[in-house]
């Protein structure tokens, strides 16, 4: 198989962008972050897109970005946590990419993002409850679509990067 892209999937705050950037530095592959590309295309931040146009519109932009980039080779692609909601997204990404699920615990996610205000789906009270609820829906999908899973809970960025490169 000659799939040259590495595609990172996983819940918000699991480290997809940080690990993706580090992987890109180490491999020389181009780093693509779907959230960043969406913001760039829309000319506004993700919270602003959700507020002004709603989640469905955001998902449509997400789909279009994936369609535009997924066939290009030699990329590290960091995706948004909800990418797995549309099977077409994964189908496109998997054509040229190995799908790597960065798995972590709700507690770790909470600790990574508790002061973050840029994730519309986790705004307001009871963040840990929201995380748990969304994880219940999503874990089966991350598991279904992964080619490889890396449990990042107690690993440094360096360790995760080395592990992925070994895979
Ligand atoms: C989302 C995750 C976010 C971003 C948007 C929706 C989700 O990306 O795409 O807020 O549905 O899980 P990160 O996983 O990079 O936070």
**Which domains, ranges and CATH numbers included, belong to the chain?**
5-166 (3.40.50.300)
The mean pLDDT of 133-155, rounded to a whole number, is 97
DSSP annotation of 1: -
pLDDT value of residue 124:
87
pLDDT value of residue 2:
73
Cα 22–67–74 angle (5° rounding)? 35
Burial annotation 12-33 (CB, 10 A radius, 16+ → b, else e): bbbbbbebbbbbbeebebebbb
Say yes or no: CB of residue 46 within 6 Å of ligand 1: yes
Please state, rounded to an integer, the average pLDDT across all residues of the chain: 96
Ligand 1 atom at minimum distance from 62 CA: 9
CB 163 within 8 A of CB 105: no
Which pTM was predicted? 0.97
Ligand 1 atom at minimum distance from 16 CA: 15
């Amino acid at each position: 198989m000659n799939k040259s892209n590495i595609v990172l999937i996983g819940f918000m705050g699991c480290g997809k962008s940080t690990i993706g950037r580090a992987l890109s530095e180490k491999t020389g592959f181009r780093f693509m972050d779907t959230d960043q590309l969406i913001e760039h295309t829309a000319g506004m931040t993700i919270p602003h897109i959700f507020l002004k146009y709603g989640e469905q519109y955001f998902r449509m932009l997400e789909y279009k970005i994936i369609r535009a980039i997924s066939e290009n080779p030699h990329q590290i692609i960091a995706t948004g946590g909800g990418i797995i909601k549309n099977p077409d997204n994964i189908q496109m990404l998997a054509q040229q990419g190995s799908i790597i699920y960065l798995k972590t615990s709700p507690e770790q996610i909470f600790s990574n993002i508790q002061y973050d205000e840029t994730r519309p789906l986790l705004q307001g009270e009871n963040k840990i409850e929201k995380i748990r609820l969304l994880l219940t829906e999503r874990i089966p999908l991350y598991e279904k679509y992964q080619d490889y899973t890396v449990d990042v809970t107690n690993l440094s960025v360096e360790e995760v990067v080395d592990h992925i490169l070994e895979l």
